[in-house]
Chains A and B, each alone.
Chain A
C-alpha cells in the first residue's frame, strides 16, 4: 500500500471515528422536536396536565416548568414526597422523572408508568421547554 493510500485510509477511519462519536453523543442527548413533543404531550399528558398557567387538573400545570422547584406551585396539592424532594426541574431532572416517575421520586402520586423512548422524551422536553418562554 502506498503512502498516499495509507493516508487516505487513515482519513476515512478518522472520519468514521468522528461520525460514530458524534452519533453516540446524539443518542445520549438527542435534540428534541417541539412539534412532535406537542403531539406526545396531547397523547400522554394532557388528560391530567394543562399548559395554561395556574390551571391544575389531577396533575399540576406545566406552564414554564423548567427551572422551577418541584412541588411549589400555588393552588395544587402535591404529595409530601414531591414537596420534600428538593428537586429543581432541569431538563435532566425532568427527563429522569418522565422516564420513571416513581423511580425518581418514590412516594409521588403521578399515575404514569414512564416514557421509555429517549427520542420521545427529548421531543417532549423540547415542547415543555418551549412553553412559557
Chain B
C-alpha cells in the first residue's frame, strides 16, 4: 500500500471546513426533502438499482424510467428535489504534470456536487435534470437533462408504453445499462485518465451542448424502439448554461438521427437485454470557419444480464461494442473508432460489492495510426443503506452512501504501450446522495 502513504491525511483546514459546510448544508436540506424518486414511490434504492445505489438499473428501475419517472405511491405533495456529492482521493503510479487545481499526485477533491429536479410533474410527465458544480474546474453547469412524457397504451392487445424524451445528450434517455452515458464504471476520477482521449461521437462527444427529442415505444414489456434527432445549442445558450469558454461552443450539428432497438426480458429472478443503437450525424467542428461538415456514422450493439434471485446475491454481466466511421468533409479521408467494453459485478445483501471491467478503444486515423487505449479496472464498494431495514440514521433516513475503491490498469494509453502503466490509477471515493 505504498501508494497510500504519502500525504493521505494532509488535507488543509480550509478544505476540511469547506467540505464540512457543504455536507452539513446538504444534510440540513435532506432533513426536509428525501431523495426524490424513493420518496415518490415509497421504494428503497435497492428496488431500482443494483447494489442499492445508482445508476445501474434493475428491471423495476428500467420500467420506472421508461414510464417517465412518474410511478408513485399515490400520495401527492412530494417535492422532486435531490442532491449528490462525490469526494475522492486519486493516486497515479507516476506523478503527472500539475495543472490549475490539480497537483502532480495524491489529489483529494470534492469531485462534484449536484442538485436534481428529479421526479413526477404530472401523471404523465417527469424529469431527471441535474445541475453540477465541478469541484476541479470550480464551475457550475447544466449536466444531464431528460424530461419525458409517457403513458400506457394497448397495442395489438398488449400492454405497452409510448413516450417522448426531450434531453441534452444522445443516450442519456436510454433505460438500459450499457450505452456510454450510463455504462460501467459508474463513477471515475475527475483527475484520472478514464478510457483515454479517443472516443466516438455518441460517447459524450456533444453531451450537454445539444438538445433534442426522441419518441419511443416499449411493447409488451419486451421490445423497445426509439428514434430522435438533435440540434446544437447556440454559443450564447451554452455559455449561459456554464458549458465553458466560447471557443468550445462552436460546433454546429447538421442533420442527424439517433435510434435504439432493444429486447428486454424480466424473469423476476433474472433478466436480460440485447440491443442495437446508432447515431448518424453531420457535424461542422467550427462554425466560425467555412469548413464543411464531417460525417459520423456510429453503430453499437450491447447486452446485459442480471441474476437477481432473492436479491441476497446479485450478479451482472454487461458489454457493448461501438463502431464509428468518420468521413472528413474536406478531404474525404476516413477514420474509425472501435470501442469495446465488458464488465461484471457481484453484490452481497445489496451492500458489499465488487466489479471488474475491461475496455479497449482502437482509434485509427486516415493513415492508420492508432490513438486508442486499452486496460482493465476493478472496484470494491460498500453501500450500507438504501434497502428495507437498513436506513441512514434519522432524520436523514432516505440518504444513501457508497464508499468504494477502484484501480485502473493500462496496457495502452492514447496509442502508447511503452509507458501506459504510468497512468495506473487508484481512486478512493465517497459518494452520497440526499
List chain A positions with a Cβ less than 8 A from chain B. 39, 42-44, 46-48, 50, 52, 55-58, 75-78, 111, 113
Contacts and interface: CB of A to CB of B under 8 A. Distances in A.
Interface of B (DSSP majority class) = loop
Contacts of A46: 311, 388
Contacts of B311: 42-43, 46
Interface in B33-73: 41-44, 47-48, 58, 60, 63, 71-73
B28 interface: no
20 contacts: A42-B310, A42-B312, A43-B269, A43-B309, A44-B268, A47-B58, A48-B60, A52-B388, A55-B42, A56-B42, A57-B41, A57-B43, A57-B47, A58-B41, A58-B42, A58-B71, A75-B75, A76-B74, A77-B73, A78-B74
Contact of B73 (A39, A42, A44, A57): A57
Contacts of B72: 58
A117 to B, nearest CB: 12
Interface centre among A50, A52, A78 (most CB of B within 10 A): A50
B42 A77 contact: no
B308 interface: yes
Interface residues of B, number: 23
A103 B41 CA distance: 25
Contacts, number: 48
Contact of B43 (A42, A48, A76): A48
A48 B308 contact: no
A108 to B, nearest CB: 13
B47 A111 contact: no
A111 to B, nearest CB: 7
Interface of A (DSSP majority class) = loop
A77 B47 contact: no
Contact of B74 (A42, A47, A77, A111): A77
Which 6 A-B pairs rank lowest in CB-CB distance, beginning with the nearest? A77-B74, A42-B310, A57-B42, A47-B47, A47-B60, A39-B310
Contacts of B268: 43-44
Contacts of A77: 73-75
Given A43-B310, A57-B44, 9 more contacts: A43-B268, A43-B308, A43-B309, A43-B311, A47-B47, A48-B43, A52-B388, A58-B72, A76-B73
Nearest to A102: B159
Nearest to B58: A47
Interface centre among B41, B44, B72, B388 (most CB of A within 10 A): B388
A56 B75 CA distance: 10
Contacts of A75: 75
Contact of A58 (B43, B58, B308, B310): B43
B47 A48 contact: yes
